[in-house]
Homo-oligomer: A and B are copies of this chain.
Amino acid sequence: MAQMRRPTMTDVAREVGVTAKTVSRVLNDDGPVAIETRERVMEAVRKLGYQPNLMARNMRVGARDAAIGLVIPEMGNPFFGMVAGGIESVVRARGLTLIVGSSSETADLEQSLIATFLARRVSALMVVPSATSDHRHLRTERVAGLPIVFLDRPAVGLTADCVVSANREGARAGVAHLIAHGHRRIGFIGDLPATLYTRRERFQGYRDALDHAGLPFDRALVETGHDQEAAQAAALRLLSLPVPPTALFAGNNLASMGAVLALSRSGRKDVALVGFDDLPLAECLDPPLTVVAQDPVGMGVAAAELMLSRLDGDKSKARRALVPTRLLIRGSGEVPASR
């Protein structure tokens, strides 16, 4: 069966015996239409299975597409999924459609995704930058007035709105919690390259807490693990130091999982652990995992609202919004310092 040509507004008009403009009037509730004509048009629309062509409409109207382009590093990561969910709930209420694409955490894909969004004339752009990207190329769009909001990590080489977790404050609170339970040697397991924004901020929070308590900083207590396995190895290395830490602070969810695995496999229940970012089964662990929880949905909502205010003409200068974190006390962070 040949791919049938899709019916156009003109087809509908011909079917009814009117002109395209009349059909347009009916469909957009624009101008006056005889009630009988209206009904015959609607009938023909149903009969032919007519679907208006949004591309043609947008082009004529000169409006941007009623869509918001969102770039996230990874679809499978629930953190970004929840961010997207938060955004969607807000934009949907305004009749906007969220279009999501994933960059696989590479700068090239991020840029080409952004390009296809721009080519589709989305009404706004929301970007969770990948680790190595640069956003100078968006300067033209910014001055042209396109709302652009960055999430989770700020833009690089571009002054623009952004919404991020209170990484530094959150990490500080988590580490201070450990210190309050008597720990003086606390290992830090970071995730991505030390150059990454979130890594840097959380590490600063760690330093802040130590400084505030007057504890010395020991370089040997800082390790890196890019994925769950690497984080597990990192935790084990820390625990086998000559003078090992009595507590661990994990810099993100993967690092937490690695640390949990390391502790559980080596049967160490005497080591305290606080993780940055919550995990689904955290309360089912033994001991239940104490975390500095982020608020991905709240981040999405905040970013979307900022974006909408820009769309509504707010021309004030670029803002950086902080989404607060919450310390969830469950057990693992309250293990006292062993002697």
Contact = CB atoms under 8 A, between A and B. Distances in A.
* A contact residues, range: 35 or more
B99 A51 contact: no
Nearest to A48: B140
Interface string A270-294: 0000000001111111100000000
A54 B99 CA distance: 15
Nearest to A87: B75
A81 B88 contact: no
A101 B91 CA distance: 12
B143 A1 contact: yes
A3 interface: yes
Contacts of A118: 51
A277 to B, nearest CB: 12
Interface in A86-125: 88, 92, 97-102, 109, 113, 115-116, 118-121
A59 interface: yes
Interface in A20-57: 49, 51-56
A132 interface: no
A65 interface: yes
A8 to B, nearest CB: 11
A131 interface: no
Contact of A75 (B67, B82, B116): B82
Interface stretch (A161-169, A178-186, A257-265, A322-330): A257-265
Interface string A54-81: 1110110000010100000011111011
A102 B67 CA distance: 14
A14 to B, nearest CB: 18
A244 interface: no
A152 to B, nearest CB: 15
B144 A3 contact: yes
A231 interface: no
A248 to B, nearest CB: 14
A4 B140 CA distance: 10
Given A53-B119, A116-B97, A3 B145 contact: yes
Which one of A85, A144, A296 has the greatest number of beta carbons of chain B within 10 Å? A144
Interface string A249-268: 00000000100110010000
Contacts of A261: 283-284
Contacts of A115: 51
A97 B119 CA distance: 12
Contacts of A319: none
A84 B85 CA distance: 14
A237 interface: no
A34 to B, nearest CB: 26
B84 A75 contact: yes
7 contacts: A4-B143, A75-B84, A76-B81, A78-B81, A88-B102, A100-B100, A257-B281
